[in-house]
Amino acid sequence: MTKLILSDIKKTYRLGNETMPAVNGVSLRFRQNEFVSILGPSGCGKTTFLNVIGGLDQYDSGDLIINGLSTKKFKNADWDAYRNRSIGFVFQNYNLISHQSVLHNVEISMTLSGVSVSERRRRAIEALKAVGLVDQLKKKPAQMSGGQMQRVAIARALVNNPDIILADEPTGALDSHTSEQVMEILKEISKTRLVIMVTHNSELAEKYSSRIIRMLDGEIQSDSNPLAEDKSEAKPEEDKSEAKPESVNSKAKRLRKTSMSMVTAASLSYKNLLTKRGRTLITSFAGSIGIIGVALVLALSSGLSAYMETMQSDTLAGFPITITRTTQTLQVEPRDGNGNLLGAGDDEGKFPNDNLIYNYDSQVSTRQHTNNLTADYLDYISALPDSVEDAVNNISYTRGVGMNVLAKGSETVVQYSSAVRNDDSFQSQAGAMMGGGSDAYWQEMPDNHEYILSLYDLIGEGSRMPENKNEILLVVNEYNQIEKSFFEKLGITSGENYQMNDFIGKQLLTVVPNDEYYIRDGELFTSATGSDYEKLFDGENGVHLTVSGILRIKEDAATNYFSEGFVYTPELTNHIVLSAQQSEIALAQIDSDKNVITDVPFADNAAKEQQLLLFGADTTPTGISIYPKNFESKEQIKEYLDVYNVNKPDEEQIIYTDMAEMITSVTGTLLDTVSYVLIGFAAISLLVSTIMIAIITYVSVIERTKEIGVLRAVGARKKDISRVFNAETMIIGLTAGMFGVGLTYLLSIPINIVIERLVGISSLALLNPGHAIILILGSIALTLIAGFIPSRMAAEKDPVEALRTE
């Protein structure tokens, strides 16, 4: 039975202009099973001949017919499959992969032919049993003798159950005793397969082989046992395996394409990297430096911008957008005596071209605008769309209602605050202008406790937030101080220092309802005086206020929201507004053009309105303060407020004041610029480490050239070779990325300690986990790119040359 037919095979090497025929028209026929020895002097073309048969090298002309299948039209993938399934190579220098165990060396060709792991192991052990090495599975090639290594190589050649074993001087490096052992094994194999062995040891050839072919200068000189042409033999078919379904033809099935899985590639590379642990670690560490650079910049800049955000929010807490009943619009452009702009338009008149020098009135003229806070507008503010609502920290309303507050700080009860003062101080007038609630040491707190506690700490034993309208808070400054006049106002004049528990839990104030505070006397009302205070303070209709806690500004809060003194709940205001609205004095004031207490006619309508507000007859808010979260959200809110004014006549427009106008977003831009510069520097280090990884991969390709040759010899495709190296760079990239991210987290600890010492900002550098993952993926991508050219070079290596390297 004919296994293999060579017809007029020629292979010529070209060196410059010279041509070197290495195989010069060889025609031979081989049996299904025989032991053929090829003998001939060095350089006669034996290795070339064997490589051509094995598909490692391609013939120039002629034909090679395997199992009746012509290889003339074979493509690369067909040759790969042919090597993997039909051929087993045994080399003089064994060509084992040094970083793989004996077992894995034998398994390697099966990893390309899609054999399951357990089947692979079973067959590898079986093949090793056949060569008598079953007890050496875990050894590395370097730990074995030459004869043992050659037996491993034979086991590797056998394991895929090939038709043909090709052995190129398999005993060339062995002593005579070991050589005989190897020959015995090959002879045994030749009982079931075709074994073609190249040797220059004619003694061994004659002793063991069944057929001796002598070669000289690329031609066949003699053949001891030629196979005659079989007349009945069918003409060779050409390979049409691609067009044929696999089950139809056994030859097509035999040549099923090889491919290496990514897992195999990764495990090959992983094992290789393990053999050079030190270098891999150093490479990964060097690669991680770029990653660390970028990661630290990201950590710092995101930490810094988070910090800026809270700082902005804190700053803005003190600078709300305010809407008050009257606003003054400043006009700072030069104007003439009549208040007209010099230069008719906005920009017109600027940078004039004429030869005149103008004079202008430096007096800044102001315009007053009255904001009519209609129910419509209040609805507009309370019905914020979600996006704007998210931009708001807090909205507080100022109510005009005056509260009649009595205090019992010491023995005697004194007046703490009132709608109409007995001393008629300017304070209350000014307070009324701003919205009556903003009396000295007497402010309303926002509804949002969380917001307050983001700016203030509760200090003192038992200190807590108010739970109902009967509870108030005391606010001290960062030195735990309150101005002297506050204590005087409370009627405390004795001691110098006060205990916190003199306040916490103590009922110190009472808000007296209008109807008890103002007594009707005919047309007019008289307000309570000092002698009535004691009774009113304890009276059951008053709202008795207990201090539930003490607030102190947080160390890192940028601004105050409250000034010193007492703050009360919006619930208290609501309660007082409701009772004041129904009070006799409020109702009486509505019907009168004179002040119902002083009997003095109001100078103008505005003065009456103020009085109505104070008595609670008019309950519309006198002011609105909107506290944005940051500069961006402030712009959002302003946009929303501007929309209200669109297409409204001047007098219906609501003009707000932006208290924080002067604080611009320059800081944000500066931060961005600094980040970009730093990222630029980090990117350079990333580039350097990428180039370094490319070089390391290149070195690895050079080092693993022989492995490339072995892989190709057992049927690996070019693609599989590049996979092996891509897997290697990916592993390095992954390690570098994880190193980088891990080290960044570690480095953040001392960096944060130093930053905290220097500028007092805690945990500023914090790498966001999302960024960490992106960086690791980025590191893998970069090393893959870096390894791309070296791994392509590896894939393109000529297998014959690759095997020849040491």
Which of 40-48, 234-242, 261-269, 680-688 is the region at the interface with ligand ADP (rule: CB under 6 A)?
Answer: 40-48
Q: How far is the CB of 37 from ligand ADP (least distance, A)?
A: 13
43 binding partner (options Mg ion, ligand ADP, none; Cβ < 5 to 8 Å by kind): ligand ADP
Cβ atoms 432, 400 nearer than 8 A: yes
Site string for Mg ion, 33-62 (x = CB under 5 A): --------------x---------------
**476: nearest Cα among 601, 564, 367, 364:** 564
Q: Which is nearer to ligand ADP, 19 or 481 (CB)?
A: 19
Instruction: Write the DSSP string, 739-805.
Output: HHHHHHHHHHHHHHHHHHHHH---S-----HHHHHHHHHHHHHHHHHHHHHHHHHHHHS-HHHHHH-
Q: How far is the CB of 225 from ligand ADP (least distance, A)?
A: 21
Q: Applying CB under 6 A, does 48 fall inside the site for ligand ADP?
A: yes
44 binding partner (options Mg ion, ligand ADP, none; Cβ < 5 to 8 Å by kind): ligand ADP
Q: How far is the CB of 5 from Mg ion (least distance, A)?
A: 23
Cβ atoms 709, 799 nearer than 8 A: yes
Q: How far is the CB of 151 from ligand ADP (least distance, A)?
A: 23
Q: How far is the CB of 85 from Mg ion (least distance, A)?
A: 25
Neighbouring-strand partners of residue 164: 87, 194
Residue found under tokens 């031609």: 219
Q: How far is the CB of 288 from ligand ADP (least distance, A)?
A: 42
Q: Which is nearer to Mg ion, 47 or 327 (CB)?
A: 47
Residue sitting closest to Mg ion (CB) = 47
Q: Applying CB under 6 A, does 197 fall inside the site for ligand ADP?
A: no
Question: How far does the chain reach from its first CA to its final CA, in angstroms?
Answer: 39
Q: Which of residues 449-508 bind ligand ADP (CB under 6 A)?
A: none
Is residue 804 packed enough to be buried (19+ CB in 10 Å), middle (13-18) or exposed (0-12)? middle
**365: nearest Cα among 386, 392, 335, 390:** 335
Which of 13-21, 206-214, 245-253, 335-343 is the region at the interface with ligand ADP (rule: CB under 6 A)?
Answer: 13-21
87 binding partner (options Mg ion, ligand ADP, none; Cβ < 5 to 8 Å by kind): none
**673: nearest Cα among 248, 151, 297:** 297
Q: What values do phi and psi take at 774, rounded to 5? A: -60, -40
Q: Applying CB under 6 A, does 18 fall inside the site for ligand ADP?
A: no
C-alpha to C-alpha distance for 221 and 39, rounded to whole angstroms = 10
How many chain residues touch ligand ADP (CB under 6 A)?
A: 12
Would you tell me how many other CB atoms lie within 10 Å of the CB of residue 589?
23
**668: nearest Cα among 170, 196, 306, 362:** 306
Q: Which is nearer to Mg ion, 209 or 283 (CB)?
A: 209
Q: Choose which of 13, 451, 602, 745 interacts with ligand ADP (CB under 6 A).
A: 13
Neighbouring-strand partners of residue 526: 519
CA angle 200, 191, 93 (to 5 degrees): 35
Assign residue 197 a region (left: φ > 0; alpha: ψ between -120 and 50; beta: otherwise). Answer: beta
Site string for Mg ion, 687-726 (x = CB under 5 A): ----------------------------------------
Would you tell me how many other CB atoms lie within 10 Å of the CB of residue 286?
18
Copy the structure tokens of residue 157: 């050649």
497 binding partner (options ligand ADP, Mg ion, none; Cβ < 5 to 8 Å by kind): none
Q: Which is nearer to Mg ion, 167 or 296 (CB)?
A: 167
Q: How far is the CB of 79 from ligand ADP (least distance, A)?
A: 17
Q: How far is the CB of 157 from Mg ion (least distance, A)?
A: 17
Is residue 181 packed enough to be buried (19+ CB in 10 Å), middle (13-18) or exposed (0-12)? middle
Which residues in this chain contact ligand ADP in the complex, by CB under 6 A? 13, 15, 20, 22, 40, 42-48
Interface positions with Mg ion (CB under 5 A): 47
